Amino acid sequence: MSTSAFSLEFDLNNAEIRTMNKMYFKDLYKKRVTFFLAIVLLGIVFLGGDHNHDFFQWILRDLILVIFFLLFHCLIVNTICKVTFRVIKRLLKFDRLLRRYKFSFTNSFIGVHSPLGGFTHQWCQIEKAILTKDFFLLYIRDKNAYIISISTKDNCCHKIAELIAFIDGNVTPVERI
């Protein structure tokens, strides 16, 4: 990879934001909500309640609580995520929130930023790069196999051309369709 300074940043349009929320942040947010609920459960099990009673009663009560959590955690997490993404969908009408969604590309990583969190990917995770008439697609090799799509219409042609040249020369050949 070239050691020359390379840095680009792309703002996202509404369609790209919706796609990114579905692909990236839905999984990330589900993991965060599950982690938070697991911490709450552990807090209730170990810190909540009266431990002066019989040890068997304490174990039985907490076992029932853990089983209840495991049975209904998917439903609870999905409900929390659906409500959150409905609120975000309504909030996307405001420019202030829209400007916080960005892709950034540097020599060493690809950054995906949003109000819900962010990801960074190394260039070696790029499996394939495809340029179509309307989009430039980067296929990320990861557990969930993400696709980064950048609209070629809304972004400056010079920026897209510079990104394509960098990827074509330093990362992987760009397929043109």
Within a domain: 113: yes
- Whether residue 113 sits in one domain with residue 86: no
> Is residue 23 in some structural domain?
no
H/E segment holding residue 42: helix 26-47
Does residue 2 lie in a domain region? no
SS3 content of the chain, % helix, strand, coil (to 5): 50, 25, 25
Same domain, 87 and 106: no
Summarised one tens digit per residue, pLDDT across range 50-108 is 666 677 887 888 888 888 888 888 888 888 888 887 887 777 677 666 667 788 888 88
In a domain, residue 110? The reply is: yes
Tell me the one-letter amino acid at 35. Answer: F
In order of 24, 92, 158, the CA distances from 149 in angstroms are 12, 19, 17
Domain end marker among 37, 71, 91? 91
β partners of residue 104: 9, 111
Share of the chain above pLDDT 70, in %: 82
Spatial contact of 49 and 141, defined as CB atoms under 8 Å apart: no
Q: Output the pLDDT for position 3.
A: 47
At a CB cut-off of 8 Å and minimum separation 6, what does 70 contact?
none
Q: Note whether residue 122 is domain-resident.
A: yes
* Residue-level pLDDT at 170: 82
67 part of a folded domain: yes
Q: Are residues 136 and 70 in the same domain?
A: no
CATH number, domain with residue 109: 2.30.29.30
Number of domains in the chain: 2
The whole domain housing 83 covers: 28-91
Residue 52 lies in a domain: yes
